[in-house]
Amino acid sequence: MGTMTITVVLGDDHALIREGLRRSLDRLSDVEVVGEAASAAELRAVVRRTAPNVVVLDIRLSDGNGLDLCRELHAQAAAPAVVILTMYGDMEDQAASAGAAGFVGKDAPARDVAEAIRAAASGRFTIRRRGGGRSTDLLTPREAEVLALLSQGLTVSQISQRLYISDSTTKTHVAKTYAKLGANNRAQALMTAVSLGLVAHPHEPGPPNG
């Protein structure tokens, strides 16, 4: 059985950036650009017409905010995955909160954009920072702390006590960490974290309340 082709719509208010990105993606056998848009209004129409797997979207559009549009797309039935491609750094949390499946800096290599598109199409969250950096930029400092304690086998209550935060706050950090790692539970999160070099080999987990 052949590889599935990932259909992509590009949303950016700069024609040259769309053209350069299209040329890079046209070289890939598993990615097909099926539409482009310079504005939020145009992108809505293109997405309705083409029903892409992934939308690559700038934060700044000629008539709106890409994060607002990301939230709008994320709320739709059969929503496309959205990869935020932007020159603005340190907005990963906002992108994740808006429902984005990826965050890529505009000065990241083209291969990182392709990797983020493939990850988004398969339901995984990924971040590619400036220069292609990966490491703990995937997580906020607090999420990295929570992940480290999860890897030591601590329960939610024990993590809350260690960090002097409430159980509900800890659970929120755990949920966001799982989402960013594309995991449904602690074991999956730790396996992914180990593969990414975010934590060393984990200890056996404690009672399953986290």
Average pLDDT, the chain: 83
Within 60-99, residue ranges assigned H as helices are 66-74, 92-97
Within 98-202, residue ranges assigned H as helices are 110-121, 141-151, 156-163, 167-180, 186-196
Cross-sheet strand order for the sheet of 31-37: 31-37, 6-11, 54-57, 81-86, 102-105, 126-128
Say if residue 5's pLDDT is above 90: yes
Domains contained in the chain, CATH given: 6-133 (3.40.50.2300), 139-196 (1.10.10.10)
CA–CA separation, 85 and 93 (whole Å): 14
Q: Does residue 136 or residue 186 have the better pLDDT? A: 186
The strand pair at 60-61 and 64-65 is best described as antiparallel
CA–CA separation, 74 and 123 (whole Å): 13
pLDDT digits (tens, 9 = 90+) for 11-50: 998 888 898 889 989 999 999 999 999 999 999 999 999 9
* Range 77-92 average pLDDT: 83
- Tell me the β-bridge partners of 32: 7
pLDDT digits (tens, 9 = 90+) for 91-139: 777 888 788 888 888 777 788 889 899 989 988 777 765 544 443 356 7
CA–CA separation, 192 and 171 (whole Å): 19
What pTM, to 2 d.p., does this model score? 0.62
Q: Supply the pLDDT for residue 58.
A: 92
* Range 159-180 average pLDDT: 91
